Structure 1
Amino acid sequence: VSHVHSSPFSHFFSVIAPVLCAPAVVGAGIGGSATAHFLRQHFGSEVQVDVFEKGAVGGRLATVTVNHNDYESGGSIIHSLNLHMQEFVKQLGLKYRRSVAGKTAVFNGEDMILEETDWYLLDLFRLWWRYGISFIRLQMWVEEIMEKFMRIYKYQAHGYAFSSVEELLDSLGGSGFINMTRRPLSNSLLELGVSQRFIDEVIEPVMRVNYGQNVSIPAFVGAVSLAGAQNNLWAVEGGNKLVCSGLLKMANANLLQAQVSSISPVYTGAVHRSRILATCNLGILQSGYKHHKNLYDIVVLATPLQASVRSGIRFQGFTPAFEELPGNYHSTVATIVHGYLNTSFFGFPDPRLFPFASVLTTETLDLFFNSVASVCPVNISTGFRRKQPQEAGVYKVFSPQPLDKIFLTSQSYYSVQVTEWQAYPCYGSNQGLSPVELHPNLYYLNGIELAGSAMEMSSVAAKNIALLAYHRWNRQTDMVDQKDLMHRIKTEL
């Protein structure tokens, strides 16, 4: 078995040579491709990892081409503390995209109520003047949560896994983290002493641009969102989706461009296996058959199973029968417009005086969009500069519904490209969390998104499932759902 990267205890995994198993992953987004990579890492070079993908590799990491340049239409930012994503980029030899500075403002439908300047100290003074110490209280809260969440990397480096999202969260932040998945963000912030004005004018716009939802979303996903609103963010040169294709290649995964139509259990003595029926869009899979039937010892579902996503997978022959997973996915429309921004809409009749690269919005009845931003291509040349508002540029608009023609005709534009994403869960405070283990050796990755949806959350879930599958396969129960891990790891050293 190949060594576990970055673990001081990787030799423990190589001592036990497991019976070769056949793993399959359904979905080649960041979660699925990371799972294939981690399965290869833990199960070794001998196993064949099949990855089924009905669409494009990358899933919700995708680009569109405008005027000979590619732009992110899906997941576009990564936090500097996202250690799995950082490690992927390093291992794959990818590069960090050069960041291009740009100021942000918040629009309430009538006025710009918050404007970033070129001077950091002036921005801090304005925040303090308008909101008191609310922003300091918020920052301390987010940093405390991030510090606890960072424990997951140590646990995973030592090979520990969790059989549920609740167990994972409990190991990081105790009942506090689990409670944060059940109560609204606004309640938690008000208890912290954050003012209602700050919540309405700063927190709400961040939730709208990141998740298309308001401050009634659970506090934990709100904290994930706020961590992603900080300055220390990055992206991958050439497009974030390159991480997915790179991980599949590094895992030497067998990619099957096919729609999985059904999964059914097969029992061979005490061994639980799964039969996958998949159909290729072109009618023929690599095996040469229209219907690809194969038995797998381990199956990881790395695609949302909620009804609104229409995964197309039927679960047949399971006892008890599978019930539909709770909740729905939220529809967000990303519109990439190449043209001139109508700055007078924001109270700037002269576009030369419009200084902002991005505009966030408060929750206002009349506003039909969540944000608009001047975007940079995924390949940024050394001499690249952001277009001025009086020049034709490329803008990304997030909105709950497709933009109507009235808005678009008020702009002067050359092209419009629309991508409608089932982007992340519809967050409610009482929806509960999805299981990780659906059946022996059948795992569900996207349940982590009900706690928080981000590239790194999917990567953490991928590592957890690869470890969990490995330990279940080798009956290493002492590596799953262990309590007091911080103390346990200290005594191991």
Structure 2
Amino acid sequence: MFHLNLPLRTLVILGLCQFGRRGLASAPELREQPKKIAIVGAGIGGTATAYFLRQEFGDGVKIDIFEAGTVGGRLATETVAGAEYETGGAIIHPLNLHMKHFVDKLGLSPRKDVPSKMAIFDGKELMFEESDWFIVNILKMIWRYGFNFLRMYMWVEGVLDKFMRIYQYQQFGYAFSSVDRLLHAMGGDAFLTMANQTLEEAMMGEGFSQSFLNDIVAPVARVNYGQSVRINAFVGAVSLAGADAGLWAVDGGNKRVCSGLLYNSKAELIQARVNAIALKHRPSKTGNSVNLYEVNYVSQSGSAHSLYDIVILATPLHQGLSDVSFVGFSPPLPSQFPGRYHQTVTTLVHGLLNVSFLGSSADPASFLYSDILTTEHKQLAINSLSSLDPVSIPEGYKRPPASHPGVWKVFSPQPLTPEQLDGMFLRRDGVWEKRWLAYPAYRPPHRGTPPFQLAERLYYLSGVEWAASAMEMSAISARNLALLAHHRWHHDTSKVDQEDLHTRLRGEL
């Protein structure tokens, strides 16, 4: 079982969750359940959707998940020198309640914690070096930036307090038809404003200094989203929450959550690429015509198709990530939505770090910084440099100092050249590269975020990424879509796009 010391607000929400299973008035009488549901994509969003759909519709429905690649999607690992290392989504926040629930439900465990230290590189030297002593770090920050650092944590804490409301809504069965409505349920107009202004604008408006934004906030945005303080303020707050204490990961790799959810949901994995979804009209037993969705796909066995009552797209419908076409819809549905995904290149290097590349004259044997963040610098080719630990931590493991060969992860916007790698490493025993279209290119204001519902019984999960891309955001979207699909199927509108939870709770209590 997975246990952590939870803050009071989390315990209150978990308590409400138990009440929520029986506390509000019962839903209208349900009609016959759907027979078949298709999910396109087996990443964290798709597999979580299968898990939640099974909860909502029961054991009778057949759930198929189509995946052309590997289960896990952007949660992935690479084997280097006989051990596995994360190459995709790496960290989970302690307040990510869905991810916590998945790990507990699936019998997984959090990875053993390995102490780490951070430094910030400005292209010439290490301008900030974290100490082993918390109070020393605080005093350093106060000396250089006043109370900006403490105020930042208070600002992020305020955002998280509002963010946590979504778990209450979902436990009581509330669903939302658009990303904007979901954000408004969490944080009202303030969250909608944050989604349509830059992080720089929002924090400057709160009185943070430009030097603090450039030196501290921008490096965090660069390591988490490969972008600057000109990302939207909501995703910026999510990014800054990723600098909190208590971050964790799954023992054996975060992708294990996806394979576990797939197994737990009893969904069938179909290794195939979906290329079209067509609206079909079929006669029913009563003589009336019913609409079904024909999913057309290509597998190793060739082309095939199958009919479904409900289809959920859990893969981004954007250039370079999808070529699904929609046939027979009026008005027509776009095969790709506006906006583009930002490229981040992950390079794993098994070798010996050149500490002088970082402008450091320290003895490599005493260089123990595991995470090197970077400020914006025109001549700097990387966003971050991190010493990696394997996804399963062996007994007695200690992260090697820079004087010993280790596995390093480099994030960069473009593939690194041999000359660039030569400058960073004294020796390279192996290099592995993965190019990700990892998350949206955030350029607020972003108008027209794709809806959760594209057509009757056709849903889209990945629109939530335009608010913020994270494992927990995908899990929240998955829960929302399962609820929305259930309510729409049974023609129950009482908990769709409503924000009256607390009013109803007061009435019930």
Smaller-chain TM-score bracket: over 0.9
Cα offset, 1:9, TM superposition: 4.5
Residue 195 (structure 1) aligned to one of 203, 209, 216: 209
CA distance 1:18–1:492, shift in 2 (3 Å)? farther
The separation in 2 between residues aligned to 1:490 and 1:396, in whole angstroms, is 51
Aligned to 1:380: 393
The separation in 2 between residues aligned to 1:358 and 1:472, in whole angstroms, is 46
State the SS of the aligned residue for 1:78: coil
Deviations 1:149-207 (A, max 9, x none): 10111110001100111111111111111111100110110111111111000000000
Q: Provide the alpha-carbon RMSD of the alignment.
A: 1.5
Question: Is contact 1:171-1:485 (8 Å) kept?
Answer: no
Aligned to 2:431: 416
TM-score normalized by the length of structure 1: 0.95
Cα offset, 1:69, TM superposition: 0.2
Give the counterpart letter for 1:264 in structure 2. Answer: A
Cα offset, 1:264, TM superposition: 1.1
Cα offset, 1:118, TM superposition: 0.7
Cα offset, 1:7, TM superposition: 4.8
Aligned to 1:370: 383
Deviations 1:362-417 (A, max 9, x none): 00001000000101000001211101100000000000001111022232010000
Give the counterpart letter for 1:129 in structure 2. Answer: W
The separation in 1 between residues aligned to 2:453 and 2:29, in whole angstroms, is 26
Aligned to 1:431: 446
The separation in 2 between residues aligned to 1:8 and 1:39, in whole angstroms, is 21
Residue 295 (structure 2) aligned to one of 273, 276, 286: 276
Deviations 1:238-261 (A, max 9, x none): 000000000010000010000001
Residue 306 (structure 1) aligned to one of 305, 308, 318: 318
Q: Which runs of 5+ in 1 are unaligned?
A: 285-289
Aligned to 2:95: 81
- Alignment map for 1:234-249 (pairs within 5 Å): 234-249=248-263
Give the counterpart letter for 2:325 in structure 1. Answer: R
- Alignment map for 1:82-481 (pairs within 5 Å): 82-268=96-282, 269=288, 271-280=290-299, 282=300, 284=301, 290-309=302-321, 311-323=322-334, 324-349=336-361, 350-410=363-423, 411=425, 412-432=427-447, 433-481=449-497
Cα offset, 1:15, TM superposition: 6.8
Question: Is contact 1:273-1:441 (8 Å) kept?
Answer: no
The separation in 2 between residues aligned to 1:95 and 1:483, in whole angstroms, is 35
Deviations 1:268-312 (A, max 9, x none): 4564321100110x2x2xxxxx32211111111000001132x12
Question: Is contact 1:72-1:378 (8 Å) kept?
Answer: yes
The separation in 1 between residues aligned to 2:320 and 2:187, in whole angstroms, is 31
Q: Alignment length, in residue pairs?
A: 481
Question: Is contact 2:461-2:481 (8 Å) kept?
Answer: yes
State the SS of the aligned residue for 2:407: strand
Cα offset, 1:46, TM superposition: 0.8
Give the counterpart letter for 2:114 in structure 1. Answer: V
Cα offset, 1:17, TM superposition: 5.9
State the SS of the aligned residue for 1:397: strand
Work out whether 1:489 is the aligned partner of 2:489: no
The separation in 2 between residues aligned to 1:489 and 1:458, in whole angstroms, is 27
Question: Is contact 2:33-2:61 (8 Å) kept?
Answer: no
Give the counterpart letter for 1:426 in structure 2. Answer: A
Question: Is contact 1:263-1:277 (8 Å) kept?
Answer: yes
Cα offset, 1:489, TM superposition: 2.9
CA distance 1:292–1:6, shift in 2 (3 Å)? farther
Give the counterpart letter for 1:331 in structure 2. Answer: Q
The separation in 2 between residues aligned to 1:218 and 1:67, in whole angstroms, is 39
Deviations 1:124-163 (A, max 9, x none): 0111110011112211111111001101111100011001
State the SS of the aligned residue for 2:370: strand
The separation in 2 between residues aligned to 1:341 and 1:233, in whole angstroms, is 25
State the SS of the aligned residue for 2:401: coil
Question: Is contact 2:17-2:168 (8 Å) kept?
Answer: no
Deviations 1:451-472 (A, max 9, x none): 0000000000000000000000
Give the counterpart letter for 1:294 in structure 2. Answer: S
Give the counterpart letter for 2:98 in structure 1. Answer: H
Cα offset, 1:14, TM superposition: 11
The separation in 2 between residues aligned to 1:267 and 1:39, in whole angstroms, is 24
The separation in 2 between residues aligned to 1:55 and 1:489, in whole angstroms, is 44
The separation in 1 between residues aligned to 2:453 and 2:289, in whole angstroms, is 18
TM-score normalized by the length of structure 2: 0.92
State the SS of the aligned residue for 2:351: strand
The separation in 1 between residues aligned to 2:404 and 2:438, in whole angstroms, is 31
Question: Is contact 1:135-1:194 (8 Å) kept?
Answer: no
The separation in 2 between residues aligned to 1:370 and 1:492, in whole angstroms, is 51
- Alignment map for 1:44-63 (pairs within 5 Å): 44-63=58-77
The separation in 1 between residues aligned to 2:51 and 2:296, in whole angstroms, is 23
CA distance 1:9–1:16, shift in 2 (3 Å)? farther
Question: Is contact 1:200-1:362 (8 Å) kept?
Answer: yes
- Alignment map for 1:13-92 (pairs within 5 Å): 16=30, 18-92=32-106
The separation in 2 between residues aligned to 1:167 and 1:475, in whole angstroms, is 19
State the SS of the aligned residue for 1:79: coil
The separation in 2 between residues aligned to 1:14 and 1:239, in whole angstroms, is 42
Cα offset, 1:82, TM superposition: 0.1
Deviates more, 1:346-355 or 1:137-146: 346-355
Cα offset, 1:336, TM superposition: 0.5
Cα offset, 1:315, TM superposition: 1.2
State the SS of the aligned residue for 2:491: coil
Give the counterpart letter for 2:295 in structure 1. Answer: I
The separation in 1 between residues aligned to 2:27 and 2:111, in whole angstroms, is 36
Give the counterpart letter for 2:503 in structure 1. Answer: H
